[in-house]
Structure 1
């Protein structure tokens, strides 16, 4: 009977270990990523909970719009991979890419005006620094296997 209890205990521990290992190797969902980003930026920029509650919906709205523009750039870049692409087509692809990048910058500028209605310019500056730091930490974490994906790099 004692052997069965010990065997059952080790089986449970093994199963729990496998589940824990699977969780570590799972990639973050977009919601989890945004939650980590929001917490990191809130802390490093020193936002109050009221400021964060007002700011982040607008911030993530901007991020979604910038992602759409970035996706369009990537689609254009994929078109250029075709070996039959002509110089005229490359010229058109590049013009569109530059236009999309300019549109992204203009979008950021317009959202800066919206951000000023929520946060002081100092806090907006601190948010931008925190955003850059978050992405730097993210890249370091991915290299160390801490942000999902393969842990055995």
Structure 2
């Protein structure tokens, strides 16, 4: 008799625990999955091709060079962001802040220098008008992303 009562209590506790677990999972806000870097690039490429009116041949030549530039700029920016985050640590000295500020500015200069270098490569592939359209399309794409992210934040 005691075994049946004990078993019944364990079953009830297990059922209650399962129900609570299910309710707590449904109470969590749904997490929007982040897009992978590959998906981001695919969307960016599609957007830029459309807005700059690139032919498939032009796109095939242009985007390997474009993404090479983006990878180099990403590495520069990652280093700068790492330093910016170090500045958030308590006890950061004025000398450290000064170095962080200078390094961030140097990263911007290096990034701009890369843009100028790669412009020469872009000119071998595209017309000046297409390069201009690409620059505008790139700005629109980033604005569009910020808008989507802002809307997602509002929904939370």
Aligned to 1:102: 109
What value does the CA root-mean-square deviation take over the aligned residues?
1.9
Question: What is the TM-score when the length of structure 1 is the normalising length?
Answer: 0.76
The separation in 1 between residues aligned to 2:39 and 2:55, in whole angstroms, is 21
Write the distance in 2 (CA, Å) between the matches of 1:82 and 1:138. 30
Larger Rg: 1 or 2? 2
Structure with more relative contact order (C-alpha pairs < 8 Å, separation 6 or more) = 1
Does residue 137 of structure 1 match 2:144?
yes
Q: Deviations over 1:3-41 (max 9, x none)?
A: xxxxxxxxxxxxxxxxxxx8x932211111111110111
Per-residue deviation, 1:98 = 1.3
- When structure 1 is superposed on structure 2, of 83-92 and 66-75 the one drifting more is 83-92
Normalising by structure 2, what TM-score? 0.75
Count of equivalent residues: 127
Q: Give the C-alpha shift of residue 100 in structure 1.
A: 1.4
Structure 2's unaligned 5+ residue stretches are: 1-29
**Structure 1: 5+ residue stretches without partners:** 1-21
Asked if structure 2 preserves the Cα contact closer than 8 Å seen for 1:25 and 1:151, the reply is no
Q: Please give the alpha-carbon distance, in whole angstroms, between the structure 2 residues aligned to 1:25 and 1:106.
A: 36
Q: Does 1:46 align with 2:53?
A: yes
- For residues 66-105 of structure 1, the aligned pairs below 5 Å read 66-105=73-112
Q: CA deviation at 1:151?
A: 9.6
C-alpha distance in 2 between matches for 1:80 and 1:107:
26
